[in-house]
Structure 1
């Protein structure tokens, strides 16, 4: 009889809340008799369960303190690039981006790390979200302590007469106040207007 009562209560709660709230398992603990064999396998209500979560797993902005952190930065940069491309642009330009453009992005980051002698002491991070629509931002590498950008990686959609649409990948540096465009490379899209970023 208790089994039917339990099922009836669970169904009533699910129907009344449209499935948004599920019945608490505490109800079943209180309904079971104390000598029930199933209760001995379950932890009591007063028992506390502790577990630790590694903070680095939840850290979205990796700091660059050693080579593994640089690898994390590169992986984040690639992930953010694909996020910006979206499902419409990404599959079309992925191969050329991986073989031509991304190695140059890695070079620029590595060169910046080598020319700035004290960067190994700083906490560097990468921005979390690329811009959508037709905006240029892919990601920025910045100093977390000073909260200043060091390198800004962008992609611009260019329409060239008679040739069609190209994606121009470039970067800006803090050394010239982000004014100059330092070209990384171009990828041809087609003669048709490309979709918006993040689409």
Structure 2
């Protein structure tokens, strides 16, 4: 089979399934069997031809999208005044825990339900806690909520308390992700 037809089929399958179902390699071997009758291909030639074919990128999984959105939404919430001060500790301590919580939550769901999920696009400003929520697009109900609260501890100063809530318990329980120390001075409002 001609190379351009094979490449067109590969791209068509990838676009049609949105990258969720990768094409079976057996299918391409079967299609290439027609060419084997016309010419003999050595193992090294097959390897060289394989390297030349373009790789079609699959659509990123929702888990990856959620992890990127988590970082983006957090920095948007922090604003220009808080973000630069706490970014190092946030990325090394808190962000991996947010990603782990996303993984644990999404693994428990079926692939059909994961396709219906979305992420809120605007974190809350002022003194509100919301960073972002993951919700079901069909019902509009939240599945998991990621928040940060400003705590004032006597004699210690201000801390940012990162936590999340799940729909399993009606969002009543705080599941701690960690705290980041600000200072003894009052922190600025979110989004500032």
Contact 1:113–1:120 (CA<8 Å) still a contact in 2?
A: no
Contact 2:165–2:171 (CA<8 Å) still a contact in 1?
A: yes
**Alignment CA distance shift 1:119-1:163 (3 Å):** farther
Question: What residue in structure 2 maps to residue 30 of structure 1?
Answer: none
2:86 to 90, 93, 96: 93
Aligned partner of residue 172 in structure 2, secondary structure? coil
Q: Deviations over 1:143-181 (max 9, x none)?
A: 112211000000000000111000000000000111111
Deviation at 1:66, TM superposition (A): 6.9
Aligned partner of residue 95 in structure 1, secondary structure? helix
TM-score with structure 2 length normalisation?
A: 0.67
Inter-partner Cα distance in structure 1 for 2:88 and 2:80: 14
1:146 to 130, 139, 163: 139
Question: What residue in structure 2 maps to residue 129 of structure 1?
Answer: 122
Deviation at 1:70, TM superposition (A): 2.0
Q: Rg larger in 1 or in 2?
A: 1
Please provide the CA RMSD for this pair. 1.7
Question: What residue in structure 1 maps to residue 155 of structure 2?
Answer: 162
Structure 1 position 81 matched with structure 2 position 43: no
Question: What residue in structure 1 maps to residue 173 of structure 2?
Answer: 180
Deviation at 1:133, TM superposition (A): 0.4
Unaligned runs of 5+ in 2: 1-57
Deviation at 1:121, TM superposition (A): 5.0
Structure 1 position 117 matched with structure 2 position 113: no
Contact 1:113–1:119 (CA<8 Å) still a contact in 2?
A: no
Q: Deviations over 1:88-116 (max 9, x none)?
A: 00000000000100000000010001122
Aligned length: 135
Unaligned runs of 5+ in 1: 1-64
